[in-house]
Chain A
């Protein structure tokens, strides 16, 4: 690890003004710290967000669930509010990484990193969530731009995520056997504004499977999607799985997510 400066502000505005061009926000550190240890990043300063209490916490306001950016995966997984409002979200959080990752990793850190195989992007896009920053609100679909790329501008900081509470939702993940990231994960939600199907792990960035959304809108059952294929071209291919296999998994996981939806 290269040496760097370190700051731990107690407020969002303080954090935003502390960050410079070569600096990094430190959330749960579950990607950033290993990257630093391997000397693959050399920030001038880490601005640690763990001292900002307003970034933490879960609340339900009418038809909306709000999760603070520095809320850990384990807190989402164990939250009675989340389990009651969106059980699929609690279940998703309970399967991120391993216990150590869930005890440190945060929703804000995860979505800001936008790893193509992360779980949360599927939930945000699948539920039509809104990402709130210190500057603005961004729809989930606009937030996730491309591989490890988000709509965040320099110095912009995620403060919370708000999820519209769906009629029902389900998430099915096929974990990479080694890393346990999503080789392919599909989040399905039946919401007031229609059915949404979001796929993570299979492509360079989370995306909506609109053929499946159309089929499920008229018949919300596993059978409705089990015959719908996804074009393999453009999907990820690596030592763990080919694009063809990932395309197959989208179909299989979508059907399982629908079956699991509650």
Chain B
């Protein structure tokens, strides 16, 4: 198990390899469909994204006794952000993207160029991952609706697998190719 701890430097990110299992500790910003479209169209980010991590997540956050409490916080499907992600990684020097299902060639290219990885969280594991959120530091762009807002979370030992590294390797592309080859033997 590799510990990935803030600050997220380019060296730490480039040292990660496809297939590495990591425990992440530090700051992450949630952002999904509305946020990506907004930033891609030139919207000004309400938080500084340089050397930060974007988490494709629409959490369930409830206010209890005046304090935000994260009730569920698993990843959402990342491929929907493929039209925007590469551009945003380059524009803001984003160091990691957390999500599920993997992303495509544009994102992989940007990861290589900038020094960024794709961390695959376990889809559906909302409770295990909510337990890893130790603090809610704030929320912005709440007008997009609670799941679509940018939530600033501090996480500890957040489990993920590096499925796209900063060296042009994608586990998703590899598994797709393997499964297509195997299908030929079955039909």
Do chains A and B stick together as partners? Answer: no
